[in-house]
Structure formats: C-alpha cells, structure tokens
Structure 1
Amino acid sequence: MKIQFVRVSLTGLLSLCVILPMGLKAQTKQAYTSLEDAIRSAGSLAGNAGPQSVNWTNGGNKYSFIDNDEIRSMDPQTLKDELIFSNKGFTFPGSTKPFNYESFQWSHDSKHLVFKANFRPIYRRSGVADYYIYDLESKQLKRAAKDARTAELSPDGKKVGMERDGNMFVYDFAAAKEKQLTADKTSENGTFNGHYDWVYEEEFGQAQAWNWSPDSRYMAFWQFNERPVPDFQMTNFEGNHPEQVHISIPQVGDPNPSVKIGVIDVATGKKVWMTPDETGDFYIPRIYWTSNPDVLALMTLNRAQNHMKLYFFNVKTGEHHVVLEEKNSTWVAIFNFYTNVNDMVYFPEKSKEFFWVSDRSGYYHIYRYGYDGKLINQVTKGNWDMIKVTGIDAEAKKIYYLSAESGGLYQEPYSINFDGSGETRLFTISGFHDVNMSPNTKYFLDTYSNHTTPTQVTLNDNKGKVLKTLVDNHEVSDYLKAHEYAPETQFKFTASDGAALDGFYIKPANFDPNKKYPLVLLVYGGPESHEIFDQFGTDTWAQWLAQNGYMVANVNNRGSANYGSGFMKSVYKQLGKLESSDFVDLARYLAKNMSVDSTKMAIMGTSYGGYSTTYTLLTHPGVFKVGIANSPVTDWRLYDDVYTERYMAPLNENKAGYIKSADMTYAANLKDHLLLIHSMSDDNVHPANTMQLLTALTNAGKDVDLRIYPPGAHGAAYNWQSYLLIENVSFQYLERYLKSNYDLPNLNEAK
C-alpha cells in the first residue's frame, strides 16, 4: 500500500527532458502542447536532485557519489573532488562484455567497492544479482558472488557474506574459498534463510534479512517457515497457456509464517537460535547489534502490533532478557515508509545507551535508555512530532534530527544534547529538508525546497554552516520564466466536525475569480502518510490540469503523520470514514470560498488513493461527479495482514469495522461516474478487490467504466505506452464528465 507518488515514480519510464523553444516573444510563456509534453517536462520542474548514490566513507570524513557513470569522492574539509572509479575499459571478469552495475556499496574500511550487477527483480526491494569486489589499491575487479539475493563485505573487509537460494554463505578472500553456513532450505513455500517473504519485505520495509556483527565474527539472519501461509496466484494471460505466478501472501486473518533468528559463528559454523519468550502469533521486524560485540537486540511485535518488546540476547548462549517494553491502544510504530524512517530505536557505537522513539506523550519524541533498561530522560519534548533521527554523536552526547516543530507542513533539521538541553535549529530557511548526515556527524547534505523555491542542495557542517552549495537549480528558475506554471497555495480550514486541516490548491490558468471552475482532488490519504509539505510543486499532471482550466487540490487528511498521534491515529479501526469526510469538506470549502463549481468536482487516486476515491463516492454520493480509482483496495479483508491489522486490528477484534470500511457495503449508493483501473498482475492490491466490487455494483444495478492492463504491476502501468494511455484515458474521462466535452481526440489514431 505504498504508491502514493505513482506519477513521479513512473515518469522514470522515460527520459525526462525539455528543449526550450527558441525565439519566445517577451512576456510570452509557453503552455504544454499535449499531456505527453507535460509528462516529459517533469524533469524541468524537478531539476537537479544533487549528488546521487551518496555513501559516506573514511569514517564520515568524505562522501562518494555518482556523476555521469563515474564514482567520485568529495572531501568536505578541502572541498576537493576526485575520481574513485570509472567503468570505462573494464569488462566483466573472464569476458569481453563491458562492465556495468546496478548499485554499489563501500566496505567499512573504505578500501573496497562492492558492485551489484545483472540485477533481476523479485519483489519491490529485492532481486537476484551478481556481486563484484573492486580493490581501490590494486584496481582489480573480481566476482565475489553469483545469483545472490544479497551480499555484503564483512566490516573488516576480509570476507563477503551472502544469501543465495535460501541459504547463507561466506567467501573468504585469503582462502579464496566459499563456505556454506546453512543447508536447511526446502523451498520458497517451505523453509528458507536470509531473505524475507513477501509480506515482511513489503510491510516492514527491508530487503536484506541478515546482518554482520560489527566485529565480523557473526552473521545474524532470519529463518522463515512459509508452510502455513496461503498461496496467492496471478497471471498476465500471456501465451497459449498463461503461467500462474505463485506467492505466499497472508491476508487478514490468515496464518503468518513462523520466523526465528539465528546467529552463526562464521569461523566455527556454530549456530545459536535466539528464542524470545513469546507465544502465539508474533512478528520479529527488526534486529540490531549493540555496542557489546556478543549482544544482539531483537524486537518482537504481537500480531495486533500494539505491544512491542526489545530483547537483549547473548549470541553465544542464547540467554536473554527484555530491556524495553511498549504498549499502545492503537499501534506501536517501528518504522515509517512514507517519511523515510527505517528505525525507531538507535544503538550508537561506543555507548551503553540507546534511544527509542515513542508517541507515548501524544507526539513522537526521543527517549534515552541505559543498557539496564532504565529510562534516563526524555530528550525532545513539545506538542510537535520528532520525525527522524539523522545522526548521534555519542562522544559529544548530541543527537541530530528532523522535526515538525514549526508545524505539520515543515520538516527541518535540529540538534539537541542527550539530556534534552541545547536544542538548536540548524537551518533558518523554512520548508521541507531531507538530511543525509555523515556517520561521525561532522557534516551533512541538506536537500530542501519550499513552495516558492526549487530544490536546493548544500553541503554543511554540523552547526548548519553551508560549506558549499552543490545545486541551486537556476535552470528551473529560468524554465519558469519562459513556461506557464501555477504555484501551490497552502491554506488552513476547519472540517465540519471541527478538525483543523492543512490543504493546498492550484488555480487554473488565467484564473478569473468571477468564474466557476471544475475541481480535481488528487488524493492518497493512507495512515502515517503525508501528502502536503511546504515544498516546491513538481507534479506536471497537476500543472496540465491547471492549464486546461481545472482547480487542483489536496489535504493532509486525518491519518496523516506529523500532526501528533491523536490526529494520525484517529483513523484506527475505521479506515475510510474520517479521510472521506475530510475530502468532502475540502471540496465544499473550495466550492464556497474559491470559485469552484460544486456540480463539477472529481476525486482520483492510486492504491490507498484508489480506495479513498471509491469509498468517498460510495459513502458521500452526489458530492463528486467523477471518481477515477487506480488499483483500489475495496475490502480490507482482501489486503495483507501486516499492513491492515496494524491500522484495523485483527479481524476477530473488529469485524464490524471491516464491514463498515468495505466498499461493497455501500455499492447501492453509487450515483456518480466511476472509472476503475487495475492490473491482473498486481501482487500488492490483488485484482480480486476490483472484481468483487464490480460484482457488488452489478448486483446493485450500477454501471462503471473499467480498464484492465494485464501485465502491469501495482499502479497498472507496465511501460511508457501503458502509462501515457492511462493518463490520457483519465484526462478524457474528466473532460467528458466534468466539462461535457465530447469533442476529444481519438487515442487510437496513428501519431
């Protein structure tokens, strides 16, 4: 359920470039010539994103980045930029094929590069690849692993650990020999080691299911028993005998895989299982190595995900105890995909303290603990959310973090002392900041923008001083001087039940306050997500709509992150109810205050945004004339259990809530135009969602429009042609039913 930025991500299907028109007359600004032109112009608004594939090296005193297929290194102290690696002239070892790679990582000693090549995707984050090691001193390239799902150099740089075909291996450079560490894999729907199953990877947000210990002595790994999990099947209907793809995916109420954590002594091969004192159905979503080389922290969640325990395990003996326990009346967050937060617990090196991020006060804040499990102090405080820890300096006893202290529309960098004193804002320019900090916390890259400023990227010291401006995107500013652009206007309004909400609107081109305009809401709405920041708008679909006479808008509806737990968790056990109410209130507010024609309003979205669309049409019939729902969930009992039960509780605890949140319950209410879009190869929101809604609507005598794209994954599009077609079909649907424009181009005409 994570595709809220589908239009931005799918534009990666094409090369984004714009050739500025020659000879523009003074004061004349060029509009898009077509929807395709608008989509292809996305790069001109987004601009340069700054250094790519940034890796901090040399303990954090340098960082590497990719520039035109070269790996280069920057020294923040001297601002010297040097070449580290170029694949020119390199071939794959033992062949004449030119060397190329998917991604790379550094060894901990900064003496080797590990390249991932020949990548073949499996799920969202994972795939099979070959791994190559490049020695910076000898300049030699050699293969370390073939057909591995993951591979990583040991911290001492002497070995490569890997998972291949469900078992763990290690390659020793000195011995020039590979050693198999596990041999108990049976099948992908049986027992396997070192990689996640579908639901763990998708809903707990990681791809590598094993970790080296900091001293290179141990490898800790997940083992899955997938036998209890039901089999999901899908096909793209290609060929004379279409192939059925089988994936073990648990839906709401289904049995989960049984999971356990093993730790292998790499030298001896001895394996010890870390067995927590849990009974029944529970998850192990995270493990962490502590600063004690023989102690592994292991996190458990009960099935309802409202009771977390953090264990300390002695990896030699398996002895353990609970060091932290947290309960919540809704859910305990251990990461957040939408705000790019991978962890809520942090173990700084060379320290016997750890930090836990909790919303126990009603807002997310940092809490400081000793290894004895005793709370030392609350670090951050206030009626605002701490969003993400970006760095910890154990020696100086200082934490660096991103915060919404200025309000829910902002994400800005701060520092604070371990004891909660000395809070300092590191950057005075308001907006959305994303920080990449060096491990030693001496430097950070800050990527930021606001609604009037395109993306800027700066290199800074840990006090916020700008050492170098890396990107100012003057090209975007120049582009805006010659091309039509409608900025976002952010505003606050009050919902019908008194809730305070942040929204934005984009005015149509040549806006006349004396006229009435059709409205299109572009929504997502899922819990813990966040749609609107004080950030530069780069959505060319929204710009295309504005240039064609539409008002465009959205809202940080209830359920959104960074407004406190009361706001975010108000949707618990009742998905759809408050979100749809907020969308309706937004539309009515704009119709009353912003020249919107209340008889010509549309709502559209993908994934959870598709659900927001269908549920709003069915529970608030007549408000929106048009809905366009791509890949919608229509009944939460059809979605995976980890995501759904986190926000809806297990089925046996909330059966009535599941019925109330299902589209089918309200199928007879439909009175508006609805376009449904789905793929038959969607392993995320299964096609059954759309098919069962169609049946319910048919049984109620209701008609809708349907587009099926069999080979597509989640989001339906599977190549540039399908993506452009979906966008054109959607635009023509709006034109037809909001503007009564039937004089539309034939999309089948040759171009």
Structure 2
Amino acid sequence: MKLSLERLFSAPALEGTSPRGLQFSPDGSRLTFLSAGEQDGQADADDLDLWQFDLSTGEQSILVRASQFAKREFSFEEKARRERLRLSHEGITEYYWAPDKASILFPIAGNLYLLRLGDGNKPQALTDNSTYETDIRYSPDSGQIAFIRDRTLHVMPLPEPGKASAARRILPEATDELSYGLPEFIAQEEMHRYEGYWWSPSSRAIAFIRVDEKPVQVSERYEIEADTFSVFAQRYPYAGTPNADVALGVVNVETGELLWIDVSKRKDDYIARVHWLSDTQLLVYVQDRLQHELTYVLIDINFDNQHAKTTVIMQEHCDTWINLSNSFEALPDGRFVFGSERSGFHHLWLGNTDGDAIPVTEGDWQVTGLVGVKDDLVYFEALADGPYENHLYRVPVTGGMPERLSQTGATHTVTFRGDHIVDRYSAVGQPPGVRICDLTGKTVSVITEDVTAASHPFHDYESNIGPVEFGGLTAADGQSLPWRLLRPHTTSPESPCPVVVVVYGGPGVRRVNNEWLTPWHHYMTSQGYAVFQLDNRGSADRGRAFESPIYRHLGHVETQDQLLGVEYLRTLDDIDGDRIGVFGHSYGGYMTLMLLTKSPGTFRCGVSVAPVTDWRLYDTHYTERYLGLPSDNAQGFEASSVFPYTSALSDPLLLIHGMADDNVLFTHTTRLYKDLQDKGLMFDTMAYPGAKHGITGRATNIHRYRMMDEFFTRHLQDRNTSS
C-alpha cells in the first residue's frame, strides 16, 4: 500500500504505539510508560495515558486514562514550558514514582494527582486551583512533594488516603522579574538544564536558583493567530546582551532558613549543573560566559551555623568551547562518575572531592550517555562500534574494555533499574520497538510488536521502504563525513531519480544514524525521490576536532561539506545530478538558505523552515558558544548571516515559518522577506498562524507537507524544468 500525506499524520501513528516516559518502579517489579489512547483503541490519540507492564506476569494494563480529567486551557507559562520541552501531546505528559514505590504523582490540566497503587487506581486530587503547578518532585524519603506555583517553590506533606494536605511556600514570593526554583530561559533552551531546584538526599534541604530577569533586554514579540494577535513584552537575551542574574541558595525545608552561596566571582558566569554528593555536599558546574572554561565547585554546607565553604576541585579549558555533559551519578562512597570532553571525545570519568579523576572509558569514539552504575559496573550508551548505531555497553567503574550488550543492526536508547534494562531500539526499516532485557542484554519480555506483525500500523506500508546505504566522504581537513542515502525502488541508471538533500548541519545534533526516520522520508522514496543526509563538520558526537572547525564563522565549513555530498551524488548513475533539491528546518532552514545563496545553480530548489537569518537575533548561550560576542567578532557575525549572500539567490525558494515562534523568532523570516523584496527576488512562502517553532497539528502539517510536496514535484519531477 502506498503512503499518503494524510496517513502520515493520522492515527494510529505509523511507528506504532511508541510508548514514552519509560520508567521502572523503584523495586523493578513493573515498567510504567505513557502511550496514546490508540494503545487500546480508546480515547484521543493525542492524549497520553499512564500504563504499566508487570514483569512477573507479562501483562500490560492501564493505570490512569487521561480522558477522565477535564481539559483546561494552558497558561502562558505552561505553553512556554511545553515549547522548551518540545511537548506536543496532551493528557498525562509526565509522572513520578515515589522512592518508596507505593505511589505515583502526576500533573494534568494544571493540577496534581496522587495514584496509590493497590487502591483501585483512583487518583486523589492534591490541588484544585486556577494556578498551574509545574516542576514536581518527590522528596527522597517519599514524605513530601515539592513544586513550583506562581513562579516560586512550595512543599506539601504527602497526605493520608482521603485526606487533604496544604501546600506552603518556602521561598519568597515571586514577581514578574524574580523567580525562585525555576530554571531560566537560557538554561532550559540551551543548557538542557530543566531543573531549578534539587532535594538533598535526606530531604532536609533544597538547593535552588533565584533568577532575576531585570537585566535582560525587553523586546516586543508578536504571536499572530488566525483571528487575533498578542504582543508580549518578552525578556529575550540576544547575543551580546545581558543575561538574567542567577544565584544559588539552599533552604531548610522545615525552618525556611536561607543560605546564599557565591559560586563565582564573575557575575555573568552560568550555573550549568547542580548535584548533591551527600547531605552536606554539593557539586556545582560553573561555566564562563564565553564557554571556554568549566569549573567544578565543591560546596561543604554546615546547616548548624548556616555556613558554606566553596572549593574549586577541577577546571577544564578549551580554546573553542566546552559542551556541557548530562552524564553524572554520585556513588555511595563519595566518588562520582561524570562525563567530560577533556580527552577530545566525550567519555566517562571517575572523580572524587579531592579533584582526582581517572578515565572509565577511553578511545576515539563518543559516549552519548550514562545509563547508571550497579555492582561496580558502569552502564552507558556510545558510538564505540561505528558512527551509525548507538549501543549499550558496560565497563568496570575503574575502567577497562567495554562490553557491548545490545544487538547490532539498530540504534538503542536504554534505561535500567534493579536487574532489568528497558531497550528502545529502531532501524531505518524498523519502527521503534521496546523490550525488557536482563543485565547481560538477553531479552526477557517484548513490550511492542514488530513491524512484521500484521497488526502493526506500518505493516501494510513496508513496501515504501527503499534500499538504504551508509558511507563516508573525506572533508578538506581529512575527517570522515558520515552519510545516509535512501533510494526509491524504481531508480536505475536508465531512469535516474531526483534527490532531496535533507539538511540540519548545526552543532549539538547528529542525523546520520541507523534509526527509524519520520515516515515522510519513506513517503518521499515512494514518490520516486532519493533522500540524502550528511553530517557535516560541526555536528555532534564525532569528537571535538570534528565540531570545532565552525568556531567563529557559522555556515561556511558546513556548506562546504554539504556541497561535497552533492558532488558525490552526481557521481551515482542512478541519481539525476541535475535534479537535486534541499530541505531543512531551524538550523537546517538556515543551511538551506546558505546553500542556495552561496552556491547558486547547484540545487534546483530549496525549502527553508523556521530559519535563523541573523545570529545577532538569536540568544546568548547558543550563539556566543560558537561565534563569541558580537563586539569581539563583528566580521564573523556578519559573515555568518544570510544577508550578505542573498543577492545571488536564483533558485526557487519556499520559506515557511510559524507566526508564534518564540525560539527562532518570526522576525528572522520577515526581515528576509523585506530583504528579498527590496532586491526584486521572487520566492514562495507560507506562514502558519499560532504555530510555534515545531509547527504541530494534524491539519497544519498535512498542509505544510503538501505544499512542500507540490513544490518539489514542480521543480524536481520534470526533467525539463529549469531553475
């Protein structure tokens, strides 16, 4: 059966039930997860319900159905938080196990609910008010709950069944400019730090950040809907302008006593990570504004006399930039496993409070994540067996030869608890599957069915998956550039096919993996296109030397490498080298513009979605990481903008942007509109009212992809069409 655009965005989802939010219960006896109503043919396919899988019986059952709760309009703050977290589903989108395994806490429709296991699965409402509660955390002793309400931190004792419990504010009242316990915009958007407070191991204290946004520049941002528009006086830290002032504090939960801790003498440093090592010790990562330096600050806290001693135990320096790591686990003996790129690749290290560190993993390959530590073995994900597949490994905590536990032929992401691992895996021709394994990698239970099963939503469309090939090209500096090519079944030297280059190209992301792709890729091959992707220098998980060539000049090295990929495509006898298009979103939209304007005539056409057009309009932490400050690198900022090159645009261009985008502001595209209009250059465009950076919604996406489909058909399918 042939894929249609309507089917791409209809229920049930083509990748299958695709459970998310997978968590083992604290005792490891059950696996809980979130899945849309289509899991059992009930409710709304956009609403997530809470499910469980019993490891002893192998049975799945629903714990909480989202449809039993009335829906409620998201607050402005909640909409912004969902955008930061890239949440598109509704219903139950997050949940938390109590450490004592007796209950689960979850928010829905702005209120908190407690599900006690074994009482008939009837959730108890803990809050019922007009204010959203967010950032929920159980205390480690399971006796209390903390959350953010009205932009400040509250705690609530866990109530007895059927009884109410009152929340109390333990930090000062927030204002429009001051918040307590909330991560600042830059932390969420660019540092991947989504927490603004942290319970101590004994539940006695909470470390938190205070954010003062007064220094941040106020600018008006428009959100244009279909029949109205809103103007927001938003504090947005443009590159080179002041960030919010962020301070670290610790509060005694019982008494409310506050202890402020000065972790840096420089006011514009970032508080990047906060970890409790013990009940009286914190480890804080402090990053300088230009991100050349990462300082590990040990904080010894004496609660009796409200005093904190700070000690720098380690420091890293890099002439380009330091990527922050999310890999960290404190060990019972005071040591800790942490991630660092100090060797040139992201690896795991074993550190102590004296500042000593020894490598746990080593090699010219990248650790992509720490899974956990058990019985002196470190479980981690890595690209140790090649650049295309992420695998699970384990190694002694003191280092040694890693042992691969996952099966080749797919990409894996995992989590574990107790004696079991949950493995989420996929390949280009295999939609995501979930299975439970023991600690040796042996399959114990299968959670989702294989695509070969007749009941799988993609089963009838398997014929749309064309042949896939992986390879590498050599960049100008000798480094290998991984690529992936999907071909249609119909291509041959006698009838070569057009190709669409799908580009991202930006730092912090890798695209060339043996993993399930969005079904749109397979739709394109079913329409007779080849689809090509290449990870240029600057993209993630290939090591520091691979990333750093983009430093202080974006859009140059990346463009060179993508054009090398085009040269390669033109050597293939079953690819029509005169019918090549390009498509990208976000940084990929920026890359599309740079490719069309810096190498006119190379592509028949291009589609640019939500592009950055001028890096002076983007935020501090991301932009300055790669370009430095505008005052110190004015030439680099100008050369990295699209505007110096737009006069050369000669190929058909389709520009798409959401009119409520608060990440890459719609201003990027409206400025490009004006620039192209003033230069008399024609282009196609579509702007979507109310759409954020991700541009979600079934009807909107059908329209968007149909427009792209017709655009590519018009310019690529007819061999006689000239650009």
Q: Give the TM-score, by structure 2 length.
A: 0.87
| Match among 295, 299, 310 for residue 309 of structure 1 | 295
Q: Who is 2:44 aligned against?
A: none
What corresponds to 2:157 in structure 1? Answer: 172
2:87 match: none
| 1:443 equivalent in structure 2 | 420
Describe the SS at the equivalent of 1:597.
strand
2:76 corresponding residue in structure 1: none
Rounded Cα–Cα distance in structure 2 between residues aligned with 1:219 and 1:378: 31
Question: In the aligned structure 2, how far is the partner of 1:185 from the partner of 1:505?
Answer: 52
Q: Which residue does the alignment assign to 1:339?
A: none
TM superposition shift of 1:740: 4.6
CA distance in 1, matches of 2:373, 2:662: 38
Cα distance in 2 between the residues matched to 1:354 and 1:542 = 42
Name the CA distance, whole Å, in 2 between partners of 1:637 and 1:674: 23
Is 1:250 the counterpart of 2:230? The answer is no
SS in 2 for 1:204: coil
Secondary structure of the residue aligned to 2:219 is strand
8 Å CA contact 1:70, 1:83 repeated in 2: no
1:466 paired to 2:452: no
C-alpha separation in 1, matches of 2:598 and 2:719: 28
Deviation at residue 504 of structure 1 after TM alignment: 1.6
Partner-residue secondary structure (3-state), 1:613 = helix
Secondary structure class of the residue paired with 2:348 = strand
CA contact (8 A) 1:149 1:165 kept: no
Is 1:654 paired with 2:633? yes
Per-residue deviation, 1:258: 0.2
Equivalent position SS for 2:466: coil
Q: Which residue of 2 aligns with 1:124?
A: none
Answering whether residue 601 of structure 2 is matched by residue 622 of structure 1, we say yes
Distance 2:425 2:317 in 1: 35
- Report the CA distance shift for 1:563/1:91 in structure 2 as closer, same or farther (over 3 A): closer
Residue aligning to 1:276:
263
Aligned to 1:215: 202
The verdict on how the C-alpha distance between 1:461 and 1:322 changes in structure 2, with shifts beyond 3 A counting, is same
The equivalent residue for 2:616 is 637
Give the superposition deviation at 1:288: 0.9
- Are 1:451 and 1:487, in contact at CA under 8 Å, matched by a contact in 2? no
Mapping of residues 488-507 of structure 1, within 5 Å = 488-495=468-475, 498-507=478-487
| Cα shift at 1:623 | 0.7
Q: Does 1:43 align with 2:43?
A: no
Alpha-carbon deviation of 1:287? 0.8
1:215 aligned partner, one-letter code: S
Which of these residues, 15, 33, 36, is aligned with residue 65 of structure 1? 33
**Cα separation, 2, equivalents of 1:724 and 1:72:** 30
Distance 1:88 1:581 in 2: 49
CA contact 1:234–1:680 (8 Å) conserved in 2: no
- Which residue, 84, 106, 112 being the options, matches 1:115? 106
Say if 1:509 and 1:294 are closer, same or farther in 2 by CA, change over 3 A: same
**How many pairs does the alignment contain?**
676
Q: Confirm or deny that 1:144 pairs with 2:123.
A: no
Q: Give the structure 2 partner of residue 519 of structure 1.
A: 499
Over 3 Å counting, the alpha-carbon distance change for 1:203 and 1:374 in structure 2 is same
CA distance in 2, matches of 1:444, 1:420: 21
TM-score computed with the length of structure 1 as normaliser: 0.84
| SS of equivalent residue, structure 2 residue 290 | coil
CA deviations 1:562-592 (Å, max 9, x no partner) are 3222112222222211211122111121112
Structure 1 residue 629: Cα displacement: 0.3
What is the DSSP-based 3-state SS (H/G/I as helix, E as strand, rest coil) of the residue aligned with 2:464? coil
The SS at the match of 2:571 is: helix
Specify whether residues 675 and 417 from structure 1 end up closer, same or farther in structure 2 by C-alpha distance, changes over 3 A only: same
Tell whether 2:500 aligns with 1:533: no
In the aligned structure 1, how far is the partner of 2:499 from the partner of 2:93? 42
Deviates more, 1:419-428 or 1:249-258: 419-428
Separation in 2, partners of 1:510, 1:691: 40
Structure 1 residues 693 and 180: alpha-carbon distance in aligned structure 2, compared to 1, 3 A threshold: same
- The runs of 5 or more residues in structure 2 that have no matched partner are 41-47, 71-89
CA–CA distance in structure 1, aligned partners of residues 169 and 671 of structure 2: 47
Cα pair distance change 1:137/1:574, threshold 3 Å: same
Aligned to 2:279: 293
Does the residue aligned with 1:690 lie in a helix, a strand or coil?
Answer: helix
Q: CA RMSD in A?
A: 2.8
Distance 1:725 1:83 in 2: 36
Which shifted more, 670-679 or 631-640? 670-679
Alignment pair present for 1:156 and 2:156: no
What is the alpha-carbon distance in structure 2 between the residues aligned to residue 31 and residue 481 of structure 1? 6
Deviates further, 700-709 or 599-608: 700-709
Q: What corresponds to 2:253 in structure 1?
A: 266
> In 1, Cα distance between the equivalents of 2:713 and 2:462?
27
Name the SS of the counterpart of 1:182 in structure 2. coil
Residue 468 of structure 1 aligns with an amino acid whose one-letter code is: S
Q: CA deviation at 1:606?
A: 0.7
Counterpart of 1:391 in 2: which secondary structure? strand
Once the 2 structures are TM-superposed, how far is the Cα of residue 304 of structure 1 from its aligned partner? 0.9
What one-letter code is carried by the residue in structure 2 that aligns with 1:739? Answer: Q
Match of 2:584 among 595, 605, 609: 605
**SS across alignment from 2:308:** coil
Question: Partners in 2 of 1:240 and 1:378 — Cα distance?
Answer: 58
Question: Structure 1 unaligned runs (5+)?
Answer: 1-29, 93-98, 119-128, 336-342, 744-751
C-alpha displacement of 1:650: 2.3
Q: Which residue of 2 aligns with 1:730?
A: 708
Cα distance in 2, alignment partners of residues 249 and 409 from structure 1: 37
Distance change >3 Å, CA 90–CA 490, structure 1 → 2? closer
Out of 369, 374, 397, which is 1:418 matched to?
397
Q: Does 1:678 align with 2:663?
A: no
User: 1:5 aligns to what?
Assistant: none
Per-residue displacement from partner, 1:117-153 (whole Å, max 9, x unpaired)? 10xxxxxxxxxx2112233355664333443222222
**For the Cα contact (< 8 Å) 1:224–1:258, is it kept in 2?**
yes
Render the CA deviation track for 1:250-300: whole Å, top value 9, x for unaligned: 01001100001111101111011121132131111221111x211122221
Query: Where does 1:467-486 land on structure 2 (aligned, <5 Å)?
Result: 467-473=444-450, 474-475=452-453, 479=459, 483-486=463-466
Deviations 1:522-572 (A, max 9, x none): 111111211011224x43322222222222211122122232221122222
Query: 2:315 corresponds to which residue?
Result: 325
Identical residues among aligned pairs (%): 26
Tell me the amino acid that sits aligned with residue 247 of structure 1.
Answer: Q
Structure 2 counterpart SS, 1:280: coil
More deviation in 312-321 or 655-664? 312-321
1:465 Cα offset (Å): 2.1
Aligned to 2:81: none
Structure having greater relative contact order (Cα 8 Å, sep ≥ 6)? 1
TM-superposed CA distance for 1:488, in Å, is: 2.2
What amino acid is aligned across from residue 295 of structure 1 in structure 2? Q
Query: 1:362 — aligned with what?
Result: 344
Shift in Å, 1:411: 0.7
Secondary structure of 2:190's counterpart equals helix
